Amino acid sequence: MAAPIAPPPTVPRTAPDTNRYLLDREKFLGPIMLLPAVIYIVALVGVPLVIAIAYAFSDVTVGDQSIDWVGLKNFRNSWGNAAFQKALKNSLIFTFVTQALVMILGNILALVLASDFKGKRLVRFLILLPWATPVALVAVGWWWIFSPPYSALDYILREIGALGPGGWWSNDNNAYWLALPDRAQFSVVLVQVWRVLPLATVILLAGLTAIPQDVREAANLDGAGYMRQLVWIRLPLLAPIMLVAFLFGTVFVFSDMIIVYIMTRGQPNDATQVIPHLAFMRGVQSGDLASGASVAVFLFPVLAGVAALMLRTARRAETS
């Protein structure tokens, strides 16, 4: 008679590794991964914003840092100030004129860079170079280009007969770009376009290369020419990407003060004064922290609206 088969030995069950299963949960892992970014944003943006709002409703200065409530007094004084009104007008004009030119030139450059030609990588590098250059260095370089008597731009204009005695544009040897109101405004817009254009070009180029190839092939089979494809296919498909580039550029230009600070200091006669630079001049250089904060807080509704529009655009892109 065969001996009975012994049952297999039982393996003691160990307690499940709760930590490992906890890290597999999306609801737990997601907030943990986002926590460093949240801390960074709160520390860098949230805390200064709360302090600025508190200062804007007080009478705090560099000499007296006690926060005494004054209500809307600072906002009323800023809104009724001619320099603030001029700065707000300039900020809006500079931003929208810059972005209009950037959208036009960015689409042209994206279409050019999407085609195949020799040296395309070098051209892409040269176009991206202004964006990689520090803003302060860019402003100093352009200040040298515009400033007499060593202005490189004026030298070229003299060589082609535009400036100098008998010049077809002016009899002066220099154009005084940063000394005349209209030319100073043109100079600021030109530098802003030169700085923001590379980012817009890259964004539009990415959207252009993402257009499905079968759409292009179908248009070619239907006999659609270049202009018809551009107007009826490429630009409509690029519209959401163009909006993203427009919003990013709006934030960069509207909140920038470095170019104005280095090149013109808001002069001549506040012709190039903008909101961020005015807030810096009042709050930091003049020592009136409350007045400077009230001017800076005017940036918040515009930038918050642009940020909300960016998030809405991104959400629509995800759903579509």
Question: How much helix, strand and coil, in percent to the nearest 5, is found in the chain?
Answer: 70, 0, 30
Q: 164, exposed or middle or buried, with CB in 10 Å at 0-12, 13-18, 19+?
A: middle
- Residue 170 parent element (H or E): none
pLDDT category of residue 208 using cuts at 50, 70 and 90: confident
Angle at 293 between CA 35 and CA 279, to 5 degrees: 110
Residue 96's pLDDT band, with cuts at 50, 70 and 90, is very high
Read off the tokens for 235. Answer: 């630009």
| Three-state SS at 96 | helix
DSSP letter, residue 257: -
pLDDT at 59: 86
In this structure, the number of other CB atoms found within 10 A of the CB of residue 252 comes to 17
Q: What percent of the chain has pLDDT over 70?
A: 86
> Please, what is the Cα angle at 77 between 73 and 79, to 5 degrees?
115
SS3 state at 69: strand
pLDDT tens figures, 49-66: 888 888 889 888 888 778
| Residue 114 burial (CB count, 10 A) | 14
Please tell me which residue, 277 or 229, carries the higher pLDDT value. Answer: 277
For the chain, which domains are there? 82-145+190-319 (1.10.3720.10)
For tokens 């579509």, what's the residue? 320
- pLDDT given at position 18: 54
CA distance 252 to 245: 11
pLDDT for position 164: 84
The reported pLDDT for the residue numbered 68 is 83
Q: What share of the chain has pLDDT > 90, as a percent?
A: 20
Closest CA to 146 of 259, 269, 274: 259
**Which positions ≥6 away from 227 have C-beta within 8 Å?**
none
Cα 274 from Cα 266, distance rounded (Å): 7
Residue 39 has pLDDT above 60, yes or no: yes
